[in-house]
Amino acid sequence: MRKIPTNSPSPAKAELPLDLTGPHITVSASAAHRLYQALCEMIVSGLVRPGEPLPPSRALAQQTGFGRNAVVTAYERLIADGFAEATVGSGTFVAARIPARVAEANKPKAVVEAPRQGAFALGCTHIDERAVQRFRAFVGRRMRAFGPEHLHYGDPRGSRELRAAIADHLLSARGLRCDPDQIMLTSGTLHALRIVLSAILKAGDQVWCEDPGYPIARQTIGQCGYRTVPIPVDAHGLHVARGRAAAPSARAAYVTPSHQFPLGVQMSMPRRLELLDWAKQAGAFVLEDDYDSEFRYDGAPLMSLAGIDHLQRVIYLGTFAKTWFPGLRIGYCALPERLIADVTAARAALDRFPGTLMEGAVADMLNSGAFAANLKRVRKLYREARDALAATLEAKSDGALSVPVPSQGLHLVARFDPSVDPSRAAEAKRAAGAEGWLLADTYSRARPLPGFVLGFSGHTVPQLVASAERLARESRSVLRARSSARRA
């Protein structure tokens, strides 16, 4: 915090020279953002001097007619963006040095998007502008309160503050009760896989993997020196009996039970209990990748495997890459108590401890309710995107594609008839210039089904509709070519 000199400028004016209706104001923006725009315009236009005090939040709320919370939020963003400074006990002041104004800086967007990714790319996210403002303010506040915790090597599991916030989130969102000591922060799911497996397995140990399944996780497990065993997936999830027959002495199973990747099926309760029984009998562990459980559109989700198991044989893997944004690079795992010491030691040996700068701001997002509010808003966007994509593919493919509408998640699967060669899907995808994945590429040993794995999160509805029309057209085209070849 800066010190205010004894000869500081005159007390705050009774009213600020604010323009709340000019061209710099976005009428559709929130009250807090409109006030922020007006304050920025006033400051950069020189209507107030550097170092000049701003009115208390109550006084500005009375002047503008906005709620006090809107004023506080606007002030927080001014401070975070460098237009103002705050001193405990003295108030808020125009910054001594005003940052250069960037073109379009004050024009809000309803959503922050990932424009470089084509439609259907997986792993893209939306962030509501209000959530960005809150996060920016939290980051700024944490940086201003920079403390000694950043100046030395910390707990290999990460800050207890964020671990406690995650534990609260898991209890409310997934019915998983765990102590913050059981949480470990990571840079993502694959990082967590590497750490955990190095602590519980020996080189050459077998790991069950879903077939079809998440190929990058399968590759990671193999590159770590463990043997992946493909286990078929049916309408009830991973086929445990087939796993017992193929590799009864496997030491771990990697599964996506809440929303199987890529098929989207939900593991049935009998199959979940069967999997947990196997793990207990075999002395194995189940790695539950709950990558998109927060995005449920129809009905209530089943309790997590870890919640059913009470973290005895299940290791829970979560990430903020889908619920917040991939560039944050923060994930987490929830561990059985018996594994805390071994996994912590493995983490310390691999990369010491996670980064500390963003932990406090993420904890603030969770504890303030801003994280949950953003989820609620973007969940509505994703549902609209899902419906538009599915409807367009069904309507425009003229029966060439079957498109089950998923009740959860951030992607859907569009399939050809099983008799169609998977190479036809590759032809259609290439001709349409579509991103996303080929369904066949997610298979390991089982006979691959022809079709596509298409992401709908992080993309605008017009972009999805236009791309879906092209993909549907090319899908019809490759089927017509196939029929013509047969007749010839």
Domain boundary among 343, 372, 401: 372
Domain boundary among 320, 351, 372: 372
Residue 428 lies in a domain: yes
CA distances from 16 to 12, 39, 79, 80 (A): 9, 9, 17, 20
Residue 168 lies in a domain: yes
Rounded average pLDDT over 401-420: 95
Rounded average pLDDT over 201-207: 96
Instruction: List the CATH number of the domain containing 426.
Output: 3.90.1150.10
Residue 360 lies in a domain: yes
Residues 391 and 332 in one domain: no
Residue 101 lies in a domain: no
3-class SS of residue 450: coil
Q: Is the pLDDT of residue 109 over 60?
A: no
Rounded average pLDDT over 428-432: 95
Instruction: List the CATH number of the domain containing 331.
Output: 3.40.640.10
Residues 334 and 237 in one domain: yes
Q: How confident is the model at residue 481 (pLDDT cuts 50, 70, 90)?
A: confident
Residues 257 and 292 in one domain: yes
Residues 221 and 280 in one domain: yes
Residue 107 lies in a domain: no
Mean pLDDT of the chain: 89
Residues 252 and 335 in one domain: yes
Cα–Cα distance between 245 and 446 in angstroms, integer? 15
Percent of the chain residues topping a pLDDT of 90: 68
Q: How confident is the model at residue 9 (pLDDT cuts 50, 70, 90)?
A: very low
Q: How confident is the model at residue 46 (pLDDT cuts 50, 70, 90)?
A: confident
CA distances from 335 to 186, 203, 365, 469 (A): 13, 21, 23, 45
Instruction: List the CATH number of the domain containing 42.
Output: 1.10.10.10
Residues 402 and 270 in one domain: no
Q: How many CB atoms lie within 10 A of CB 89?
A: 6
Residues 296 and 416 in one domain: no
Residues 74 and 136 in one domain: no
Residues 260 and 395 in one domain: no
Residue 385 lies in a domain: yes
Q: Looking at residue 290, what DSSP letter applies?
A: -
232-272 residue pLDDT tens: 999 999 999 999 999 999 999 999 999 999 999 999 999 99
Domain boundary among 333, 357, 372: 372
Pairing, β 252-255 against β 206-211: parallel
Rounded average pLDDT over 448-461: 96
Per the structure, the complete domain to which residue 381 belongs is given by 374-486
Looking at residue 2, what is its pLDDT?
37
Residue 355 lies in a domain: yes
Four-residue CA torsion sign, 372, 166, 329, 120: negative
Residues 342 and 463 in one domain: no
CA atoms within 13 A on the CB side of 50: 8
Residues 193 and 205 in one domain: yes
Residue 353 lies in a domain: yes
Buried b (16+ CB within 10 A) or exposed e, 357-367: ebbbbbbbbbb
Rounded average pLDDT over 387-407: 95
Residue 175's closest CA among 271, 305, 46? 305
Cα–Cα distance between 135 and 381 in angstroms, integer? 20
Residues 401 and 315 in one domain: no
Q: Which amino acid is at 161?
A: E
Give the count of domains, the chain: 3
Residue 303's closest CA among 172, 213, 163, 166? 172
Cα–Cα distance between 10 and 13 in angstroms, integer? 8
